[in-house]
Amino acid sequence: MTKKVLILPGDGIGPEIVTEAERVLRAADEKFNLGLEIDHGLLGGSAIDQHGAPYPEETSAKAKAADAILLGAVGGPKWDNIERSIRPERGLLGIRSELELFGNLRPAILYPQLADASSLKPEVVSGLDILIVRELTGGIYFGTPRGIRELENGEREGYNTYKYSESEIRRIGVVAFESARKRNGRVCSVDKANVLEATILWREIMEEVAKDYPDVELSHMYVDNAAMQLVRAPKQFDVMVTGNMFGDILSDAAAMLTGSIGMLPSASLDASGKGMYEPCHGSAPDIAGQGIANPLATILSAAMMLRYSLDMSAAADAIESAVDTVLDKGLRTADIYTDGDVKVSTSEMGAAVVEALAAQ
């Protein structure tokens, strides 16, 4: 049976890193006879340039028909001054929302080979393995009313709405508790319940969900403290579950603990397990086109896609172990390079992963 994979390269370094991930996917397809049917589509700035919209109808149709989606990254200065309703980021938010990809899994794992690349001391991060579960289709990112309006005194005011319904909180809570069950059995729910009503309810519902998981331990932490604890003693966490905006911020911080945000994959899942997979980092327009971006987060996202949406865990394991092999060999893109390593380009890194995969 064939499985339809839609690849959305996006903007900036997106096309470069996705090219490498696609090579790795095709190599895995050949090795394991996966029956992948790969198609491509436009999202973000590249879609604005060709279709005048960041998430065109054609991409939407392909996305709905696909079994899984692999995305590079969207956005860049070229589209910074465009009307805000059609900015590239709107395309990303649009596809997340239309496909109801509410469950965003962002694992922060420190590869032992990269302990020196972390900005924290090796003993603080060695063995680090955290999973951030971020709610992705609600909260302040999507709450209405929103906008920029003129007040009576002629001054302008920007406003957004932070809201979560019980069912939205419950379903992301279930994702977190189910994940914790497969890991170390601990969930830390991050909120700002000392100030924000929306997160008072969040905390209440998390307590309710916890009742169905007596084997999982639930704790709560305010987001400011969580940010501090992530850089002070990150290994205290197993699964962290939080809303859209806090998750956006904390996952960048967690990413950096691992040495580089260029190492972090992510999965965004709907209720049935269909998903979109993307690196946690952005489109990095400052280094686009130079062949120096790290493709590993995207390659690892492709592995997550095989595991979570396509039920091909042997191939996923093989890709992850190939990444391990190239790191063992000392191959490093610029973002994870320290003295004594072998510096490689984006495509050399991709080729090395393909080679390690074939050699298994």
| Helix or strand (DSSP H, E) at 6 | strand 3-10
Q: How far is the CB of 99 from Mg ion (least distance, A)?
A: 18
H-state helical runs in 113-268 = 122-125, 166-181, 197-210, 223-232, 244-257
Strands 36-40 and 3-10, by their bridges, are parallel
Provide the token pair at 336.
Answer: 């994870």
Part in contact with Mg ion (CB under 5 A); list of ranges 194-202, 248-256, 291-299, 337-345: 248-256
* Residue with smallest beta-carbon separation from ligand IPM: 89
Sign of CA dihedral 192, 198, 200, 204: negative
Specify the residue, 199 or 283, whose C-beta has the smaller distance to Mg ion. 283
Which residues are catalytic, by number?
A: 141, 192, 224, 248, 252
Provide the token pair at 62.
Answer: 């392909």
Nearest in space to 105 (alpha carbons), one of 202, 172, 29? 172
Footprint of ligand IPM (CB under 6 A)? 75, 89, 92, 248, 282
Q: How far is the CB of 67 from ligand IPM (least distance, A)?
A: 22
Q: How far is the CB of 268 from Mg ion (least distance, A)?
A: 12
Residues sharing a CB contact under 8 Å with residue 12, sequence separation 6 or more, in sequence order: 72, 73, 74, 75, 76, 282, 283, 284, 285, 288
Residue 22 binding Mg ion, by CB under 5 A: no
Query: Using CB distances below 5 to 8 A depending on partner kind, what does residue 355 bind out of ligand IPM, Mg ion, none?
Result: none
How far is the C-alpha of 109 from the C-alpha of 125, rounded, in Å? 9
Query: Using CB distances below 5 to 8 A depending on partner kind, what does residue 89 bind out of Mg ion, ligand IPM, none?
Result: ligand IPM
Residue 248 binding Mg ion, by CB under 5 A: yes
Query: Using CB distances below 5 to 8 A depending on partner kind, what does residue 263 bind out of Mg ion, ligand IPM, none?
Result: none
Query: Using CB distances below 5 to 8 A depending on partner kind, what does residue 16 bind out of ligand IPM, Mg ion, none?
Result: none
Q: How far is the CB of 198 from ligand IPM (least distance, A)?
A: 18
| Helix or strand (DSSP H, E) at 351 | helix 346-358
Query: Using CB distances below 5 to 8 A depending on partner kind, what does residue 94 bind out of Mg ion, ligand IPM, none?
Result: none
Specify the residue, 280 or 318, whose C-beta has the smaller distance to ligand IPM. 280
How far is the C-alpha of 283 from the C-alpha of 263, rounded, in Å? 14
Amino acid making up residue 198: A
Residue 135 binding Mg ion, by CB under 5 A: no
Q: How far is the CB of 224 from ligand IPM (least distance, A)?
A: 19
Beta bridge partners of 8: 71
**Cβ–Cβ < 8 Å for 35, 29:** yes
Residues found near Mg ion in the complex (CB under 5 A): 248
